[in-house]
Amino acid sequence: MTWITWPVTCPAVRAVRSPGGRTLRVELTDAGHGLIEGSVERLLRHEDDLIGHLSPAERDQLTELLRKLLDGLIEGGTAGLPEGAAGE
């Protein structure tokens, strides 16, 4: 659990207390949304740098292989993880 100190002084988020004062809602400010959008743009450019040299067929093949790996992880596969890393 992460505790939030009051008042929140990060320009990327805004904290709003409930009327009863028992809960605190944290939401992104316009600056926070800008940070997220900029991060996504950088991520997409980086991804294009990584796979830009692949043909469409190779990209499709990579997508299928990554999906197969992900399916194995979701089904509880632990191959390649250090002993105990999967909570065994």
Taken as a whole, the chain contains a residue count of 88
Residue 54 vs residues 4, 35, 44, 45, 61: alpha-carbon distances, Å: 44, 29, 15, 15, 10
Q: How far apart are the first and last CA of the chain?
A: 22
C-alpha span between 67 and 56 (Å, rounded): 16
Give the pLDDT confidence of 41-80 residue by residue, as tens digits.
999 999 999 999 999 999 999 999 999 999 888 887 666 6
Q: Label residue 79 exposed, middle or buried (CB < 10 Å: 0-12, 13-18, 19+).
A: exposed
16 pLDDT band, cuts 50/70/90, is confident
Look at residues 20, 14, 31 and name the one whose alpha carbon lies nearest to residue 6: 14
pTM higher than the cut 0.85: no
pLDDT greater than 70 at residue 81: no
